[in-house]
Structure formats: C-alpha cells, structure tokens
Structure 1
C-alpha cells in the first residue's frame, strides 16, 4: 500500500478533515505502538509500511519494549495528539485497522502476539481478544 492510500484509509476511518490530520494521528499511534513492542518487531513492521510511516516506528530503536495496558496506550496517543483518551481510542483503531490491511498476516500476528489480547480489537481482530 502506498503512503497516500494508507492516509486516505485512515482519514476515511477516522473521519478526519484532511490528510495532514490523518498523518499526525498515524504518526502518534505508530510511535506509541513502537514503545509497546520490541525494537526488532517495530523494525519488521516498519519494513512492510510506506516509507514515511517507518520513522515513527524506528526512531527510538535502542529502547526496551514497555509493558502497559490499553488504557495507557490511549492516554499516550491522546497526549501526542492533544485529544481526549476516548478520541484516542477512535484514532488508534483508525490507524491500526489500516496497518492490519497493509501488512502480511504473519507480521500482524507477530505484532499482536506481543500485546495483551485487549489490543486485538484495535487491529480489527476482535475474535483474538478475551
């Protein structure tokens, strides 16, 4: 999937006003995700996404994966976007369901396997959640 196509899907799913807003939200969500999964997995995920989307995933490559729940995920996205946590849930879902469409099933399974099952719904995979 090309960068413009990715942002168009995020924009449509998130009902954002323009591509810039979709790009800002996408970068925020990917940056938070990168802190939640291992650096190696973030690199693998980045390799399957369009060039401009790789940077938020690989920026802090020398860090350890942090363990935090889904509410903290929303809080961190909200902090980066200036939104409320409820809005951040919507944002995360718009971005991560698009990620799920853009990467291979094997890669998606590897990412999801590093997260608590409550995250699966954000990728459009509610059948994998508790």
Structure 2
C-alpha cells in the first residue's frame, strides 16, 4: 500500500477532517507500537510499510517490547499526537484497521501476538474492515 493511500484510509476510517490529523495519528500510533512490541518484529512490520512510515518503527532492533496496558497505549499515543485519550483510542483503532489491510496476514498475526486478549479492541474497528480497501 502506498503512503498516500494509507493516510487517506486512516483519515476516512477515523473520520478525521484533515490529512495532517491522519498523519499525526498514524505516526503516533506506530511510534507507540514500536515501544510495545519486540524490536525485531517492529523492523519486520516496517519492511511492509511505505518508506515514509518505516522510520516510526525503526531503532529498537534486538530489544524486547515494553509491557503496558491498553489505556497506557492510548495515553502515549494521545501525548505524541497532542489530542484527548478518547480521540486517540479511535485513531489507534483506525490505524490498526488500515495496518491489517496493508500488511500480510502473517505479519499482522505476528503483531497481534505481542498483545493479550485484554487488548482485543485494538484489533476491531468501528468501521467494518470490509470498508477499508485492500492494497
């Protein structure tokens, strides 16, 4: 999936007014995801994303992921994005919905394996995934 398409889909799924909001939400989510998952997994995920997004996931190769709760995930995204935590939660779910369509099923399963069943809402979208076009 190309960068423009990825951002446009995040904007649509999250119902954001401006492209810049979708870019901020995407970068904040991926940077927080990088902190949460095993570093080599972040590198593998980055390899399937557009070059403009790969940098958000690089830099922790060989390191373990940090465990933090789903609420902490939303809080960290909120701080990076400069928005309210409830808005950040919506944005995170939108990014994950697009991410699921942008990478191979196996790669997305590897990302999912870094989260517990308590984090299941990350892997559901308010908008049906069928509404997110495939790459």
With normalisation by structure 1, the TM-score equals 0.89
Between 42-51 and 11-20, the greater mean CA deviation after superposition: 11-20
Which one has a larger percent helix, Structure 1 or Structure 2?
1
Q: 1:128 — aligned with what?
A: none
Unaligned runs of 5+ in 2: 126-135
- Contact persistence 1:47–1:54 (CA under 8 A): yes
C-alpha distance after superposition, 1:79-115 (max 9, x if no partner): 1112121111101001111000101110011110111
Q: 1:15 — aligned with what?
A: 15
Inter-partner Cα distance in structure 2 for 1:52 and 1:123: 23
Between 111-120 and 38-47, the greater mean CA deviation after superposition: 111-120
4+ residue segments displaced more than 2 Å: 59-64, 118-121
Inter-partner Cα distance in structure 1 for 2:64 and 2:122: 23
Q: 2:72 — aligned with what?
A: 72
Q: 2:102 — aligned with what?
A: 102
Q: 2:128 — aligned with what?
A: none
Inter-partner Cα distance in structure 1 for 2:122 and 2:98: 10
- Contact persistence 2:40–2:60 (CA under 8 A): no
Following superposition, the deviation at residue 61 of structure 1 comes to 3.8
Instruction: Please give the residue correspondences for 1:1-130 in structure 2 after superposition, counting only pairs within 5 Å.
Output: 1-61=1-61, 63-124=63-124
Count of aligned pairs:
125
Unaligned runs of 5+ in 1: 126-130
Following superposition, the deviation at residue 62 of structure 1 comes to 6.0
